[in-house]
Structure formats: structure tokens, C-alpha cells
Chain A
């Protein structure tokens, strides 16, 4: 099956610093990737759609200047949390669909736990 990796798996940073999270599709190409965040005991909230070669599409209420997304290649998307604050502490997960998938199935990365002190 398709594999998606994320790096790092967990990161602790000081308030005001920026953190970059990488999402890679290891055995397939993904022109589109999705970024989600999950708070404890809550659902997966879609933050943005990362598009290779063009700007990301952000969901309502998500600050695009705070959560910078770059889809540098067909296998890599990065999410940078700029000037992180404690309220940005969350579990960030990326996913990628296989092209031509009949059911829009997405393959998820293992997630990144961000803790902002």
C-alpha cells in the first residue's frame, strides 16, 4: 500500500519560534496533500490543501500567514508553524490521495506532536 511519512514525529519548541513539519509520499506521487490538526479527544480538522506547483488552499478560520505550506515536489509538502504559541500545540497529520482512487481514499502520515512551551 501507499506510504506517507512525517518528520519529525514530535517537537518541543519555545513560544515565538517557527517549526517546520515535513510530509513525504514514499512510493507514489501526490500532486495534492492535506494537512489536519487534531486536539485531544476531538476530530480531525482539515487545515489546508497543499497543491504541487501552486498556492495552498486554506480552510475557513485557518491563518495562512501563520501556517505556511509549501508543496515543493510531487512527494514533499511542508507545513511551517510560524511564531508558534502554546495554543498551537496539537497533533498535526498530513495525508495524500492516490491518483485515480475510486473512493478518494487518503493515506495518512503518522502525525507530528507539537508542544509549544
Chain B
């Protein structure tokens, strides 16, 4: 049972344009949603997160939007840069339980 889904395995975007990565979830108990970025042969690094009581969180070029009724969140990167090329994982957790449930990941490629 895949509680967190990233249905796009890959995404290719022109440098300078907006990258939009999507994530859907099924468990309405999730309280927090996090985005991680991962380069090959490295551990994931934290990017940005959002609490379920909010619908938007922004940090520099990164913005996460949460639509609780649709059980959907998205990560917007603007403007996209070549260094953003990586695999992006969406993750969710429940307050009081430290476990993270990860989506399958989306490989983002930024083309010059």
C-alpha cells in the first residue's frame, strides 16, 4: 500500500523556467510533509516542509503548496538552475511518530 505517491518518475525543465513536482497521499492522518533532494550515491538532504495546517510555505526559490482536500502537494522551484538536477522525494509523517513515509521519487533534469 503506497501511502505517498509521486506519479512522475522524471521531469525535464529548461533552465530559468519553473519546475513543478507533484505528490499525492492517501493517509489523512499525516501532519507534516517534507521534500528531500538526493544526488546519486549520497544521502537525501532536506529542502522544505509544510505543516498540514498551512497551505503554502516558501523558502527562497522553493515553494511547497498543500491541498488537503485533494490530498495533494507540490514543490515549485523557480527559477530552475542546473544544480537543481537531482531526484526529489516527497515524504510524510504523523505527529508523535518520527517515521517518514517516502514517495518513489521524481528525477528532475534542468536543461541549459
Complex: chain B residue closest to A110, CB-CB: B43
Among A13-21, A42-50, A63-71, A77-85, the stretch in contact with B:
A42-50
Task: Report whether over half of chain A's contact residues are helix, strand or loop; otherwise say mixed.
Answer: strand
A-B contact pairs, 18 of them (CB 8 A): A32-B98, A34-B98, A34-B99, A42-B104, A42-B105, A43-B104, A43-B105, A44-B89, A44-B102, A46-B100, A49-B99, A93-B44, A104-B32, A104-B100, A105-B34, A106-B46, A106-B100, A107-B46
- Please name the 8 residue pairs, one residue from A and one from B, whose CB atoms are nearest each other, closest first: A108-B43, A104-B93, A103-B49, A43-B104, A103-B32, A44-B102, A108-B44, A97-B98
Q: Residues of A with Cβ closer than 8 Å to B? A: 4, 6, 32, 34, 41-44, 46, 49, 91, 93, 95, 97, 102-111, 113
